[in-house]
Amino acid sequence: MGEFRLQRAEKIIQEELGKLILQDKIKDPRINKLIYISNVKLSPDMSFARISVSGYCPEKQALKSIEALNHGAGFIQGLIGKKLKTRLTPKLRFFYDSSLKDGFEMNRFIEDNLH
């Protein structure tokens, strides 16, 4: 599959997941509204999507949200499939992305050592 099509599909998945979380379309109380989809990476054949999730909440809450997202992956996949308009919808797997937390810690470290 062409690189442009993969990138376009990744962008659609990322945007749609964000909307589903913010609009409370996934009705699982474990999903914190302060999480966000930081990255989507599709396999070349579009059969799998690795979705990185980060958040402005404690890591423990983000991990609970990811657990809930993985639990409801089939339902979410069905919702995404309607927007993606491809023959196959990729299987979704959610993973924790600590880059936001790492960035805050790095900024704090730099600020503490400059003063």
CATH number at residue 82: 3.30.300.20
Starting at the earlier edge strand, list the strands of the sheet with 48-55.
Answer: 35-42, 48-55, 91-96
* Residue reference for tokens 């050592």: 113
Q: Which two tokens stand for residue 12?
A: 């659609």
Range of the domain at 68: 3-114
pLDDT of the chain along its 115 residues, tens only? 578 889 999 999 999 999 999 998 888 999 998 898 999 999 999 999 999 999 888 889 999 999 999 999 999 999 999 888 888 899 999 999 987 777 777 888 888 887 6
Number of domains forming the structure of the chain = 1
If phi > 0 it is left, if psi is from -120 to 50 it is alpha, else beta; for residue 91 that is beta
Query: What pLDDT score was predicted for residue 10?
Result: 95
